[in-house]
Structure 1
């Protein structure tokens, strides 16, 4: 998840959908059909004005300035096919709250009406520094009849403090966000809990041990430590290259060596790293190994690592050997975990095993995997050099999240495979 480099987004070249010519007349908003389908349109720094970023419930996404946009915009409605979809009149309420002496900013998004059974979800975001306020995902949840509280992580957007990736501190922030959201929705909500994406898979379950949460939903997160993630990423790389078990064992030793440096604040562990470097020296493929951080560490000389290694790699207070399973064992809260079957950022092998073990032990865990998807639940095409280009969010993912949070997940969700039964 690129801790020390900030968030890494899957940059996509989106295929044009043939239906309508591009239009610049679209207004930001969420537009819904009578049967519950929707499209969200928001301003985005990635899309030049007057264009907007759009996202459908089925995962199609793009910009309104693309050729072949699959809708036409009118006044307070869009036309999809031959059918008009009306703007959904959300109620949006700005808020501030205190967390560990830090002023945080957020926004509560509520669907129309005052349903006392409507669920409330606090969105716990990944490692990105960009503000989730005004983004597509909060509105995509709200369009499914869920009250949503989004907030800026500390040190980003309108929230004060220093940006960090310390899970303990971020969990405190998330817990305070849920407390704030509960107070704002008293009398017009039912169950309340968290959704966490990517790094939020570490933070949201931990936050649920700090305050009362009725559910936790996770998308493409890990039940593994950052050290284990690094090892799994490198193992995934050598497997993709068809290099065999010896290469897997070698990169596992590299991860173990770099972990020694990280856990000692770069004071000790250089002999072990040098020994692995010596093994890798005659391997042509070794120069291309990345992992989460081990590839970069292996290519830096020891004198540089001693001087700036910590500042370069370990400057965000990450808990490298974080015990994700321990946090989940403390929870008896219903848990949804959605895995991306071909996730290169967060390989799923250890996570899937841990989740199935928790389910076998009687924890209320629902696990789904979407095949042929990468981090972010993106479908993709594979380029000639082995890199991937994201195309769309896989169909069924957003609906699964919405239905599960509302307590009525059933049936098929795109190509998802359900791994647990309760």
Structure 2
């Protein structure tokens, strides 16, 4: 979405001392009369008194930035000469038990009553930070959705040990949905899950274990963690301008490291040594990473035998997890949003699997946002080839909100609706 010049011109005229003007900013969600909104929350990475801002169209930054397109006052937030008023959400902290562990969550409800309002449980990615008080829950709630956010086990205020065991995390998500439903008698209609990144493995599995009315996934994978590693390696060598010979080598590397992981580091060393010999002297081999294979390549076999499990296999990750099998069991409608240039979760296998499910008659909506990386971030490419995220792509947040409410019609920024018009086989 193109930025309009007018708000910036107006702000430039009235903010002669931006840092001082922003000191009155208060955390909250502020709405325009037309339904647009901006979320302001504190972040450890932003020095006080600055807050993170996130608009519905994906613009983000710190309120103390000189170019921030807003100013704060006692009445709300000034944007483009208009005052956006705070939304008085109803926020209810709670705890609930799951598999012998007490977890902590918060229910966020819009202020107006609606017995048919959708309810969504937000399922974490792999991060260890708490989603409670974060921008995404409020960005959902600002669109007329009741939102339940909770600290994954071993993070935030939740008890237990941090894990990446998808089955255990899916059980936690099921109990989170049960808790959210118990807190909204007569105040919620359809209820389901949203999962981002690693949550794309967890949310669909949770929906096969309980009654869910929908599942939405952003930038997740229909592939195993081992396949994710392989696809990242292939993406890296292609980005480095390498051809099919390099692709074959990194496929062999991922196969060898996958064997190490699946055997608890008792097998796969001969295959890894063979790949090392064939990669010797190739400059690109020193920089490839994948999820884990690059690091394993550069460790000795003695190191891998001694500390491999402690370093790479200490979170109960299901390395050969069959994500497609979970989706085939899913009865609920599914939204899947792909980042077109996702380096962390390359989309080729996932895209093909999802289109195959649609052709098989599954209720699947697949959208792709071009020129975006993991997290649905637009980006700039740095001199060294790395990327820096600039904003969440326009249309993504609105698509999630509309689809969960059952009102998705589009268009949504530059999104491509890949399953529009797909006919079952």
Q: TM-score, normalised by structure 2?
A: 0.95
C-alpha distance in 1 between matches for 2:262 and 2:148: 35
C-alpha distance in 2 between matches for 1:389 and 1:417: 23
C-alpha distance in 2 between matches for 1:17 and 1:309: 53
Residues 1:229 and 2:241 are matched in the alignment: no
Residues 1:393 and 2:392 are matched in the alignment: yes
1:383 corresponds to: 382
1:320 corresponds to: 319
- Structure 1 residue runs of 5 or longer lacking an equivalent are 1-15
2:77 corresponds to: 78
CA deviation profile, 1:306-356 (whole Å, cap 9, x unmatched): 000010001000000000000000012100000000000000000000000
Residues 1:294 and 2:287 are matched in the alignment: no
- Structure 2 residue runs of 5 or longer lacking an equivalent are 1-6
Q: CA deviation at 1:411?
A: 2.1
1:280 corresponds to: 279
C-alpha distance in 1 between matches for 2:158 and 2:8: 38
- Partner SS state of residue 73, structure 1: strand
1:266 corresponds to: 265
2:310 corresponds to: 311
How many residues of Structure 1 are paired with residues of Structure 2 in the alignment?
Answer: 407
1:106 corresponds to: 105
Q: CA deviation at 1:138?
A: 0.2
Contact 2:196 2:218 in 1 (8 A): yes
2:371 corresponds to: 372
1:239 corresponds to: 238
Q: TM-score, normalised by structure 1?
A: 0.95
Change (3 A) 1:415 1:301: same
- Partner SS state of residue 106, structure 1: strand
Contact 2:8 2:80 in 1 (8 A): no
1:30 corresponds to: 29
- Partner SS state of residue 415, structure 1: coil
Runs of 4+ in 1 over 2 A off after TM superposition: 16-22
Change (3 A) 1:386 1:414: same
Between stretches 141-150 and 40-49, larger displacement belongs to 40-49
Change (3 A) 1:76 1:94: farther
1:142 corresponds to: 141
CA deviation profile, 1:208-244 (whole Å, cap 9, x unmatched): 0111100000000000000000000000001111111
Q: CA deviation at 1:421?
A: 2.3
- Partner SS state of residue 140, structure 1: helix
C-alpha distance in 2 between matches for 1:130 and 1:137: 13
1:255 corresponds to: 254
- Partner SS state of residue 40, structure 2: strand
- Partner SS state of residue 390, structure 1: strand
- Partner SS state of residue 233, structure 2: helix
Q: Which has the higher contact order (CA 8 A, sep 6+)?
A: 1
2:63 corresponds to: 64
- Partner SS state of residue 217, structure 2: strand
2:192 corresponds to: 193
Q: CA deviation at 1:17?
A: 6.3
C-alpha distance in 2 between matches for 1:216 and 1:170: 15
Residues 1:92 and 2:91 are matched in the alignment: yes
C-alpha distance in 2 between matches for 1:77 and 1:64: 13
C-alpha distance in 1 between matches for 2:31 and 2:313: 45
CA deviation profile, 1:114-167 (whole Å, cap 9, x unmatched): 200100000001000000000000000000000000000000000000000000
1:120 corresponds to: 119
2:4 corresponds to: none
CA deviation profile, 1:165-195 (whole Å, cap 9, x unmatched): 0000000000100000001011011100000
Change (3 A) 1:268 1:380: same
1:208 corresponds to: 207
